[in-house]
Structure 1
Amino acid sequence: MGKVKKTRKNTYNYNVDRKKLRRRAKKKSAPRIQCDEIRNAWNRSKSLAGNMAEMGLVADPNKSLPIRERTVIGEPSKVRKPYVLEGLKAAASLPSKQTMGISSDMIMYVRHMVENYGEDYKAMARDEQNYYQDTPKQIMRKVNLYKHHHTKEYQTLLASRTKQ
């Protein structure tokens, strides 16, 4: 007698989230390039090093700035897309949009402190409006942050303080 051939039935695996699997596979296959200039000039049929060399960029910084005398990989003669470099330089020269702002409450707090005490941080720490019981060093950090963002206003506050 012959052996009975065992066949395994294909069953659906309920423990696997197919949607997540598809998303992961999609992310691995096509990485997201966040820089607009590079994304627009990217050629999917070329390798990373080939794309970067065309743009005048270098994939491996250790090879572009060697310790010993070597030839540079991203030679300017091979740059076919110089507009990418120009776009990156223009984007780098723009002021940053993600600067940390100061809340209006903190501005009022610092103005009150500087108007009344100047730069005496120990006296500021004992003030009634120091609700959060900031230490002199914490108050100094807040004043320095205000100084950094509102330089002219801080100078006028100090000037009005010295006149009194």
Structure 2
Amino acid sequence: MGKVKKTRKNTFNYSKNRKKLKRRARNKTAPRIACDEIRKAWDDSRSVASNLAEMGLAVDPNKALSASAHMDTGTEQKQIKKPYVVQELKAAASVPSKKTMGISSDMVLYVRHMVENYGEDYKAMARDEQNYYQDTPKQIQRKVNLYMRHHPDEYKALLTARTKP
């Protein structure tokens, strides 16, 4: 007869605190900084508070505001070693965002049809046969207002074309 191969089961180690080990491992890993300006100036050997203090940023804005309100003007300010970070952040914030929510082409066609035929009579629009989703007059008004915000020139042209015979 052959030998029986003995396998040892993996047993759970009750003496280790898994929650604490996971927390320590998470704290050891470097944070993923989404902001490019801050990531470039970040020093991994320093703490979060000292990194942000060097950049002229606050760790806790509530404490920073309450401290600045109670501080005298003659007191000593903290040394900001990396002032360019704040300048870059201000420059990035001042650039207008081009991300706007668009309108689907189906909705554009729907609103154009409604405005061409009914102008601003939302109750009549609600009874139109192209109102497949049975929108209420208020819902149609919201859609028209959304179209008006995104395409103001086209909306004015639609209204003027409707009023001219």
- Per the TM superposition, whether the score is higher than 0.5 is yes
Query: Does the 8 A contact of 2:56 with 2:83 survive in 1?
Result: yes
- Aligned-partner Cα distance in 2 for 1:97–1:107: 20
1:60 lines up with 2:72 in the alignment: no
- Aligned-partner Cα distance in 1 for 2:143–2:28: 44
> What stretches of structure 2 of length at least 5 have no aligned partner?
1-7, 13-20
Q: Residues 71 and 28 of structure 1: is their aligned pair in 2 closer, same or farther, counting only changes over 3 Å?
A: farther
Offset of 1:98 from its aligned partner? 3.3
Q: Residues 47 and 139 of structure 1: is their aligned pair in 2 closer, same or farther, counting only changes over 3 Å?
A: same
1:93 lines up with 2:94 in the alignment: yes
Query: Does the 8 A contact of 2:118 with 2:125 survive in 1?
Result: yes
- Aligned-partner Cα distance in 1 for 2:136–2:94: 38
Q: Residues 43 and 111 of structure 1: is their aligned pair in 2 closer, same or farther, counting only changes over 3 Å?
A: same
Alignment coverage as a number of residue pairs: 146
Offset of 1:94 from its aligned partner? 2.2
Aligned to 2:4: none
1:151 lines up with 2:146 in the alignment: no
Q: Residues 71 and 100 of structure 1: is their aligned pair in 2 closer, same or farther, counting only changes over 3 Å?
A: farther
> What stretches of structure 1 of length at least 5 have no aligned partner?
1-8, 14-20
Q: Residues 103 and 71 of structure 1: is their aligned pair in 2 closer, same or farther, counting only changes over 3 Å?
A: farther
Q: Residues 26 and 10 of structure 1: is their aligned pair in 2 closer, same or farther, counting only changes over 3 Å?
A: farther
Q: TM-score, normalised by structure 1?
A: 0.76
Query: How big is each residue's C-alpha offset from its partner over 1:7-52, in whole Å with a ceiling of 9 and x where there is no partner?
Result: xx78377xxxxxxx99xx4686222111111111111111112111
Aligned to 1:129: 130
- Code of the aligned partner of 1:99: T
Query: How big is each residue's C-alpha offset from its partner over 1:93-127, in whole Å with a ceiling of 9 and x where there is no partner?
Result: 22324321111111111111111111111111111
Aligned to 2:40: 40
Aligned to 2:10: 11
- Code of the aligned partner of 1:106: M
% identical equivalent positions:
66
- Aligned-partner Cα distance in 1 for 2:42–2:135: 51
